[in-house]
Amino acid sequence: MWFLTAGLAVFRRLRACFGVARKLRLPGISTARKFRYNGGMPQRSLSSRGFADLLSQLQQQGYALIGPTVRDGAIAFEQLSSAADLPRGIGEEQAAGRYRLVERDDERLFGFASTSRSFKHVFHPPRQQLFALRRSKDGSQLVAPSHHRAPVALIGARGCDIAGLSTLDGVLAGEPPVDAGYAERRRDVFIVAVHCSVAGGTCFCTSMGTGPRAAGPFDLALTEIDGGSGVEYLVEAGSERGQTVLDTVESKSADQEQVELAAETERQVREAITRRVDAHAARSALRDNPEHPRWNEVAERCLACGNCTMVCPTCFCSTVEERNQFQGEEGDETMSRDRVWDSCFTSDFTHLHGGSVRASTMSRYRQWLTHKFSSWFDQFAQSGCVGCGRCITWCPVAIDVTEEIAAIAKQPEHGSEVGHD
């Protein structure tokens, strides 16, 4: 009967990796990639002081602030104590396999394209306890984890970040089976979006329909501009509670010059994004060319390190680990079962009795890219990619998914460039 046990284990692993198409039913959250936003042009203008007051107001209402800050040589989403933790005057340079912080010549708080990682770790933690079993001389006790947490406000969410959360919502918090921990953490999240004012060196959000302007859902959305007295923020409300919070801080009506400057900033960013992906062509090209020679070519470069899956805002594969801990002289024992992030690039991920189903790096890379841009449509009726470009930036050998897709869709001539304008 060992083969039934192994088969069931594989089924559970595949279900955890791929899931089934689900319809999200969390209040205030939409899973659709094409959002319907009822707002219009920016309505209010905030000074830097007004923006800091807005964050303080959120804290007074009980929200923990999660936003961008400099950590370990990169800008990352972490918990903030105040607006002072934001990366004032800090930008970054991104290219395939390259990330560097740079100093800006202004005081902007959001003068960068994207953070080193998305908000995924906030709601889908790298390690999460599923249950614990405590055994002592008095007997055994099964302990269920608590998923309760203080409500959070996401500060500085870009369009691709919001789209990434929406994609995870559809996978982890839809119809049964629902990830109870994820659903609880995602409930009542306040989102302060930021429309991109800087084009990323590796992003291709325009191809995926996720940026540079955040479409929603959000409670408030900001456009950071240079005003006559310093940095200013044009604010638009995307929800009633967003408008309520905005009404608590000092602001003024945005004038026509500010509105035009915001529109011009968006136009310039959109034009500066040069990486392109034909999402429709990619779906069929990857599906119909499993033996394309490009798969072997990219596999010769790929280290199968899993960096791309770790920084991706939508990758959700996991495995289960069990840990035992002995405590005290009485021999008390605690066993916990944890869910931890895994990657389809590891050899153990598809390991069955006798070996791995995907024994080669080529087969693992093909699975990841095909799932992201092709078979995700079959499962969830949308792409699994939001165009943030993190997988390109953080690949140690500078593999560019836009180039790989273009090469598989149409084999380029020697020396030609693909995946760019």
Q: Where are the domains of the chain?
A: 2-15+277-330+340-409, 22-124+146-272
Beta strands, E only, 264-359: 318-327, 332-341, 351-352, 355-356
**Weakest-pLDDT range from 109-118, 136-145, 246-255, 359-368:** 136-145
Is the pLDDT confidence value at 420 over 60?
Answer: no
- In the numeric block, the tokens 């033996």 are attached to 291
Q: Report the candidate in 410, 412, 403 with the shortest Cα–Cα distance to residue 95.
A: 403
Torsion, CA 208, CA 210, CA 212, CA 213, rounded to 10: 150
Structure tokens at 384: 């699994």
Out of 34-48, 215-229, 259-273, 362-376, least confident range: 34-48
- pTM as predicted: 0.85
pLDDT band at residue 18 using 50, 70 and 90 as cut-offs: very low
pLDDT, one tens digit per residue, over 278-313 is 998 999 999 999 999 999 999 999 999 999 999 999
For residue 167, CA distances in Å to 35, 61, 164, 300, 379 come to 12, 28, 5, 31, 12
Length of the chain: 421
Instruction: State whether residue 185 is helix, strand or coil.
Output: helix
How do residues 222-250 score in pLDDT, each as one tens digit?
Answer: 999 987 778 999 999 999 999 999 999 99
Mean pLDDT of the chain: 86
Q: Give the E-state strand segments of 268-415 in sequence order.
A: 318-327, 332-341, 351-352, 355-356
